[in-house]
Amino acid sequence: MSPEEKCGVLHGKYELGRLLGHGSFAKVYHAMHLQTGKSVAMKVVGKEKVIQVGMMEQIKREISIMKMVKHPNIVNLHEVMASKTKIYFAMDLIKGGELFSKVAKGRLKEDAARKYFQQLISAIDFCHSRGVYHRDLKPENVLLDEEGNLKVTDFGLSAFSDHLRQDGLLHTTCGTPAYVAPEVIGNKGYDGAKADIWSCGVILYVLLAGFLPFQDDNIMAMYNKIHRGDFKCPPWFSSETRRLITKMLDPNPNSRISISKIMESVWFKKPVSRKLNEKKPKELPEEESGKETESLNAFHIISLSQGFDLSPLFEEKLKMEKEEMRFATTKPASSVISKLEEVAKTGKFSIKKSDSCIRLKGQESGRKGKLGIAADIFAITPSFLVVEVKKSSGDTLEYNQFCSKELRPALKDILWTSPTGNSPPA
């Protein structure tokens, strides 16, 4: 134990508490951030042990990946610190335990399994969109918070898309045998996204059945079953469940279902009792076409800004992935709409508009369908407007790329500059 751990205070920032668990290379402690009083999980890795077994590159990769994948259903890495002998990961403290412990008590009802599966697929889809493949998905690496929301953890075996060889495939055999895709065991190279989909299929099966699809006391016999896709669905599985799991546990990765098709499946799309998706902006009704620009009161203004200063015209949200932005202008609403129409034409969008709002819909499908953008115009005074732009459909990354490359440059000449001389970020 390092001197800092002995005295219980780490880097003057965190007070270390009880040991929560340990593995071959790391111990996890409860810790409290002294300034905020917030509890975190502190993962402590011994440098010497990691160097001895040649895992330093893996640790660096895990840090890089966890900084990239900020998502509601992924355990968040707050910061990484180091002493002469230890590396410290300050992460979300997830108090609900492993998903595995729920299954250990018996199979889940279909609605509960669907809720967890929807969150799992949302997290893995996000990882894949950033070129990250988990490669060790299993119920033990899926945690639940106090509200019962799923959190994916343990990116120690993850890979970046830049780890692909010239054939476009990964070649490192890893993962947990019962959850590993046949092509990974085969060691002939594999698509990381397809391998993760297989593991998600095994997890869904386990949630609904209460046992594994591929079981055998002899590991080689189990591998043979995995290679053949030799499993049976229990009689309580619905026909829709059987259809989806069979497509996910297809031993041929080329014909295995994709994440986008999973999300389009009848079983996946069924609503659950606790709706997890954010509310989408309402479609623009036909009768709104003559509506006047909406005025804002003081409470609206406060909700639009982190303070009373509206000078940061494009408000930066605290999270990395932004689904909305705002800007101010002294130009009339008609000028704003004209500018947005110009952008829509160059970006191949269809347009629906009124005097105070405009809706853009992409004509070509992206990673999550057609990109939809909603812009609403609010009058703070007759000559001072705030415009709120939101993603209404499609992929967040594609939306952010469109905003930075197309929308922001096109709007530069109508943006308001504060009297202090602050100008909006480019």
Q: For residue 153, give the amino acid letter.
A: T
Would you kindly state where each structural domain of the chain is located, as residue ranges? Answer: 3-92, 99-269, 286-414
| pLDDT at 49 exceeding the cut of 90 | no
* Class for the domain spanning 3-92: alpha beta
Please count the other Cβ atoms lying within 10 Å of the Cβ belonging to residue 124.
Answer: 26
Per-residue model confidence (pLDDT) at position 425: 41
Residue 306 class from Cβ within 10 Å (0-12 exposed, 13-18 middle, 19+ buried)?
exposed
pTM of the model: 0.58
Catalytic residue among 92, 111, 125, 136: 136
Strand partners of residue 224: none
- Give the architecture (CATH level 2) of 99-269: Orthogonal Bundle (1.10)
Q: How many CA atoms lie within 13 A of 138 on its CB side?
A: 15
Q: How confident is the model at residue 58 (pLDDT cuts 50, 70, 90)?
A: low
Per-residue model confidence (pLDDT) at position 155: 61
Q: How confident is the model at residue 14 (pLDDT cuts 50, 70, 90)?
A: very high
Strand partners of residue 9: 15
Element (H, E) at 267: helix 266-269
Is 111 one of the annotated active-site residues of the chain?
no
Q: Which residues of 131-153 are buried (b: 16+ CB within 10 A; e: fewer)?
A: bbbbbbbbbebbbbbeeebbbbb
Q: For residue 43, give the amino acid letter.
A: K
User: How far, in Å, CA of 408 to CA of 32, rounded?
Assistant: 41
| pLDDT at 308 exceeding the cut of 70 | no
| pLDDT at 322 exceeding the cut of 80 | no
Tell me if 102 is assigned to a ligand binding site: no
- Residues found in the chain: 426
User: How far, in Å, CA of 390 to CA of 304, rounded?
Assistant: 13
User: How far, in Å, CA of 391 to CA of 400, rounded?
Assistant: 9
User: Helix, strand or coil for residue 142?
Assistant: strand
Which residues touch 95 (CB under 8 Å, ≥6 apart)? 145, 146
Q: Are 362 and 349 in contact (CB under 8 A)?
A: yes
User: How far, in Å, CA of 277 to CA of 31, rounded?
Assistant: 31
CATH assignment of 286-414, among 3.30.70.380, 1.20.810.10, 3.30.310.80, 3.40.190.10: 3.30.310.80
Q: Are 342 and 407 in contact (CB under 8 A)?
A: no
φ and ψ of 166, to 5 deg: -65, -25
State the average pLDDT over residues 253-273. Answer: 90
Q: What is the mean pLDDT of the chain?
A: 76
Q: How confident is the model at residue 237 (pLDDT cuts 50, 70, 90)?
A: very high
Residue 361 class from Cβ within 10 Å (0-12 exposed, 13-18 middle, 19+ buried)?
middle
- Cα 295 to chain centroid, rounded: 35
